[in-house]
Amino acid sequence: MLIRKSVLAVNPYIPGKPIEETKRQLGLKEVIKLASNENPLGPSPKALSAIKRSLSGVNRYPDARGFYLKKRLAKFLGLSSENFVLGNGSDELIDVVIKTFMEADENIVTSEGTFLEYEIIAQVNDRKVKKSPLRNFKYDLEAMLKLVDKKTKLIFIANPNNPTGTYVTKYEIAEFINALPEGVVVVFDEAYNAFIDVDDYPDSLSYLKKKKKIIILRTFSKAYGLAGLRLGYAIAAPELVTYMERIRQPFNVNLLAQVAGLAALGDNDFLKKTRRLILEGKDFIYRELSQMGLSYVFSVANFILVDTGKDSREVFKSMLKFGVIVRDMEQYGLRNFIRVTIGTQKENKKFLRVLGKVLTEDKP
């Protein structure tokens, strides 16, 4: 066999449909994309200015170690530069983590109904994944703990979880970590942490400072609007970072991504504006969905999981014809659900109008 068996077994990740592709295929002039949890305000203005100033330098390789960005992140989070690994998005860092820590006979524990890349990247690396079911659309940490055995090396917890938008509390996490055996590394994927507006969300950095074996993944793609530049980072103890740096590819984070990330960290006004837009937009959509008689999952992220009561693929296709791109949840096993990103007020209203039209037209 020419191709590795583990590669043949992979069910590839299906990204949100691009705007230009939708316009081209359906002959539409106006399309809104609410499928990939991007920032509807665009990129941080300070990041954009930094990119423009740096364009003439793209003939040079970037700083392979990301010295200045790491230094800025360390100041931003009250840590040391030695606590960071930079990545081409947090997806690459998932791969780096698995390659760094896992032996061939070891396994990963995570949940069903979570970010698909944990399992996909594990499969590509020929590593076993054990999953517990969601409970009320939320990670069931008790069930996950029962899956941990002597061969468990990594545990992936998306908090908030994608695609449900739910989270596990600081009390649940504390109990979970205290019950884990030595030698197990917990990876907290906190891609949506900037949107948190609850009081009982865990402070994962406190576990790092207590010298627990944890790795935290964060990204500039969501709140800072830099998804197209692919910039993420891992936070861990320096001794773990040292080994992850051996696996990371040189020049994996490009020059423009580094200068944009550096500038974005200083753009507090943009971050506040983004948070306000998301929180207000989310409340608006909640109210409208309730009036439409539709169920949804309470979210602490910048998206909402909506129960349409019918095949999500058909809802997705029907909404596409009206120039609205949402995310169907069939690949996650949530067949009647769509996931919608919070957009601008204009985009939110169009989404609701089209969703109502699509669901009403299909009724007998």
In whole angstroms, give the CA distance from residue 297 to residue 307. Answer: 8
| Tokens, residue 168 | 């596990």
- pLDDT score of 363: 55
- pLDDT score of 253: 97
In whole angstroms, give the CA distance from residue 284 to residue 278. Answer: 10
- pLDDT score of 364: 41
Sign of CA dihedral 180, 77, 86, 45: positive
What residues have CB less than 8 Å from 80, skipping those under 6 apart? 74, 238
Compute φ and ψ for 134, nearest 5 degrees: -70, 155
In whole angstroms, give the CA distance from residue 277 to residue 269. Answer: 12
Where the chain has pLDDT below 50, the residues are 364
Q: Which helix (H) or strand (E) holds 49?
A: helix 45-54
In whole angstroms, give the CA distance from residue 57 to residue 20. Answer: 29
- pLDDT score of 354: 97
Rounded to whole angstroms, the maximal C-alpha distance in the chain is 63
- pLDDT score of 138: 97
* Full set of structural domains in the chain with CATH: 5-42+269-361 (3.90.1150.10), 45-267 (3.40.640.10)
Residue with tokens 């900037």: 194
- pLDDT score of 82: 97
pTM: 0.94
